[in-house]
A = this chain, B = another copy of it.
Amino acid sequence: MKKIIYSLSLLILLMACGNQEVASEIKVSNIDELNTAIKTCQAGDNIVLSNGIWNDVQIKFRGKGTKDKPITLKAETEGKVTIEGQSYLKFGGEYLVVEGLHFKNGYSPSSAVIDFKISHKDTLDEIASHCKITNCVIEDFNKPKRDKSDLWVQFWGRHNELSNCYIAGKTNRGPTVRVSIEGIESINNYHQIVNNHFGPRPVKGGPSGETIQLGNSYTSMSPSHTMVSNNLFEECNGEVEVISSKTNFNEFRNNVFYKSEGSLVTRHGNYCTIDGNYFIGDGENENYGGIRIINTGHWVTNNYFYNLKGKSFRSPLAVMNGIPKSPLNRYNQVTDVVVAYNTYVNCSSPWQFGVGTNIAQADVLPKSEIRSARAIRTTVANNIVYNEKGLEAIVVENDKADGVLFKNNVVNNQGVAFENFNKGIVEASLGLKKISDNISLPTGVSNEIEAYNGYGFNDIENDLFGNSRKDNASIGAAFSVDVSNPNILDKSKYGTTWFSNEIKDKNPVTHNAANAEELQTKIDEANNGDIIIINRGKHVLSKSLVINKKITIKTIDKSKVILYFTGKENTPAFQLHPKGFLTLDNIYLKGNATNYAFASLIENMSNHFGLTVLNSELSNFNYVLKAYKETFAERITFENTIISNCENGIELSEETNDKGDYNTEYLTINNCDFNNVKANVIDYYRGGYDESTIGGNLLVTNSEFTNCGAKEKNKILLNHRGIVNVNIANNTFKNNAVEFVSILWGAKNNIESDNSLSNSGQIKTEENLVMKLMY
């Protein structure tokens, strides 16, 4: 009936509008009505989606608006239309605008959530131009399997726009946003990615977790001219590249990178402009990156770097070595790059050159993988570096920076001497003026040195704050410190008008579970962050507990409580679901020798899990922890815990297809006792040679391993092949029937110290690991 009324009103409306100038508002409340509206819409029309949940809607929005009269598809009330289930939105046409939708609780059954193209098999595709998605949210819209790749926004065509959106929570494979430029319809696209709030993207645990990717290596010769400006990137931690620019002539202006564990990388393609961006760290986390440069002709100007502790790949400025005559998908030499008028305050290693040099690995890598081509025809001028604590080197030369011209750079290094590159970097005594919590500007520069006027420098017209540089010869990102707080972290300046990701802190509620049966009920009742206390007694748990939120389960007195898990063979006492973050504290957990203590779901892990075990005792399990393929935990921690009499220990080695993926970012074992764990005591694996995924962190400290590894086939106690950061320190290994306690990867950050080994084989270092090439 509703439909008939709708159709009738539409008909009347259409009949009334003999004059095509009158645009109509077409309200629709289901997919059929929407499709009909789309079919008949004309320039200037507004299609309004009624508030509510739109489930399993696959929208192909096609039409031909005009510049002055776009066709709009929008929510009745901004944010009150949620797109859920298996849904997507594809644009095909001109001057189409989508506003106010909220994508959540679902995923796209296609290769993208938002697509600026409607594909066809036998006829030409419908490609969008001058289309826009704005004031929308995409949140946790993950495919159930992490290896299943998709994009949340895929650009095609020309002059399309993603603006004022909030986008966060992607865990599956694939960049969040990609600009695709295959085909002559999509080059010189001048797309706009502006004023968005890119919220947290969790660590992916492997490659293909970029927040924005512009093109790919196969189209890296093509002109793109995409503009990425005025966006906030907050905790975009997916992988080492927050933005991966792979085409030519892209511009990155006035963006804020806040606590993002990655860099803006000119991965392929050339002639990018990176101007007026803020890179803000916390003075501690070494994963927050800056700008990493590969290829030709980029201009890095007017950027501000604060409190960044990243080094090497994640330096504020990391200039890579290239591969001579590089294959298309590898590393071209850096040439003709300009780095000028930037300011670096309290960064651990502001400038690194020759990053990624791997000449030493010539034995294990083919010639076409050796990055030996240093940057040439590159200028670093008019920059300011301010260090509260003097650094040993302002320029770290992983390979010689002899192709770089340093000119008129000023450093306050607190009197600590440094190499000055033909006086291209000079010491100065500077002050610091606080502009805001995250911005302090060096003072007292202008009298020290005048700006070098390199070729084309006159085109750098404004400074970081938009003030004209004309007739001003001062250096650094801001030529004056008399500026007001730009409020770069005021989130209301980015994203939608109606959505905020700021969550108020809530005090956790404590629940009591009298017995094993009550446990699941209490977990189900609890809110994220709550605590459940198990009462005294011996509790028999016969079925896996489902953990699908952040929860702490503890006892007051471990000696008075035992949790026996009698569940089936190969099932876990605690089953970790997506977003299941479990802290187990002060628990004595015992299995039946065939079952597990903890495990992820076997499939459909569309989001991360986490596990922290404190002050506990775990015994008599087949596996202590079993993480299945395509599951990921950012952190897994065992502390002050005894693990004994188990067939297997901690198993995080399911990503065996050697594509650079792994199952946890941080595995921490501190002050634990492992006793009679027969195999896989620790089994943590990352396969595939991928120099830019700098992942996997294993910390094993202050622990004892006794009588373990008896059934370990490869005769290694702690298996961590391919993990980049390994630290084994202050442990005692006694009577473990293995050949090696550990084989460390010397070329990477694998170290050991102060371990005591008796009757346990040895710790060996292999400088270079032979790994499968991913590319």
Contacts and interface: CB of A to CB of B under 8 A. Distances in A.
A295 interface: yes
B221 A332 contact: yes
A29 to B, nearest CB: 37
A297 B368 contact: no
Contact of A328 (B222, B271, B332, B377): B332
A187 B298 CA distance: 13
A217 B327 CA distance: 12
A74 to B, nearest CB: 30
A145 B604 CA distance: 71
A247 to B, nearest CB: 11
A124 to B, nearest CB: 9
30 contacts: A182-B335, A182-B336, A182-B377, A183-B336, A184-B336, A184-B338, A184-B456, A185-B455, A187-B336, A217-B325, A219-B296, A219-B335, A221-B248, A221-B270, A221-B295, A221-B296, A221-B332, A222-B271, A222-B296, A222-B336, A325-B327, A325-B328, A325-B329, A326-B328, A327-B327, A327-B328, A327-B368, A328-B328, A328-B332, A368-B368
Contacts of A185: 455
Given A328-B332, A329-B325, A368-B327, A222 B297 contact: yes
Interface in A253-299: 269-271, 295-297
A432 B187 CA distance: 39
Nearest to A249: B223
Contacts of A333: 218
B270 A222 contact: yes
A222 B335 CA distance: 11
Nearest to A376: B182
Interface of A: 182-185, 187, 217-219, 221-223, 248, 269-271, 295-297, 325-330, 332-333, 335-336, 338, 368, 377, 455-456, 775
Given A221-B270, A328-B332, A297 B184 contact: yes
Given A182-B377, A326-B327, A456-B184, A271 B332 contact: no
A270 B184 CA distance: 12
Contacts of A217: 325
B368 A271 contact: no
A183 B325 CA distance: 18
Given A182-B335, A187-B336, 8 more contacts: A184-B336, A217-B325, A221-B221, A221-B248, A221-B269, A221-B297, A222-B336, A327-B327
- The A contact surface, by secondary structure, is loop
Contacts of A182: 335-336, 377
A558 to B, nearest CB: 58
A654 to B, nearest CB: 29
Given A185-B455, A297-B184, A455-B185, A271 B336 contact: no
Contacts of A377: 182-184
Nearest to A271: B223
A755 to B, nearest CB: 44
| Highest count of chain B CB atoms <10 Å: which of A219, A296, A455 | A296
Contacts of A270: 221-222
A64 to B, nearest CB: 16
A297 B224 CA distance: 13
A123 to B, nearest CB: 12
Given A326-B327, A328-B332, A187 B297 contact: yes
A335 B456 CA distance: 33
A221 B455 CA distance: 20
A270 B455 CA distance: 26
A14 to B, nearest CB: 30
A184 B455 contact: yes
Contacts of A775: 325
Nearest to A327: B325
Nearest to A270: B221
Nearest to A336: B184
Contacts of A327: 325-328, 368
Contacts of A456: 184
Contacts of A269: 221
| Highest count of chain B CB atoms <10 Å: which of A187, A336, A338, A455 | A336
A378 to B, nearest CB: 10
Contacts of A297: 184, 187, 221-222
Contacts of A248: 221
A44 B455 CA distance: 25
10 smallest CB-CB distances across A and B, nearest first, come from: A325-B328, A325-B327, A221-B270, A325-B329, A184-B336, A185-B455, A221-B296, A327-B327, A326-B328, A183-B377
A775 B336 CA distance: 24
Contacts of A336: 182-184, 187, 222
A184 B335 CA distance: 9
Contacts of A328: 325-328, 332
A216 to B, nearest CB: 12
A406 B271 CA distance: 34
A108 to B, nearest CB: 25
Contacts of A221: 221, 248, 269-270, 295-297, 332
Nearest to A217: B325
Nearest to A299: B184
Nearest to A329: B325
A410 to B, nearest CB: 22
A765 to B, nearest CB: 33
A26 to B, nearest CB: 31
A645 to B, nearest CB: 52
A1 B187 CA distance: 66
Contacts of A187: 297, 336
Contacts of A326: 327-328
A222 B336 CA distance: 10
A535 to B, nearest CB: 63
A456 B127 CA distance: 14
A480 B185 CA distance: 30
A295 B222 CA distance: 10
A368 B330 CA distance: 13
Contacts of A183: 336, 377
A296 B377 CA distance: 27
Nearest to A333: B218
| Highest count of chain B CB atoms <10 Å: which of A187, A328, A368 | A328
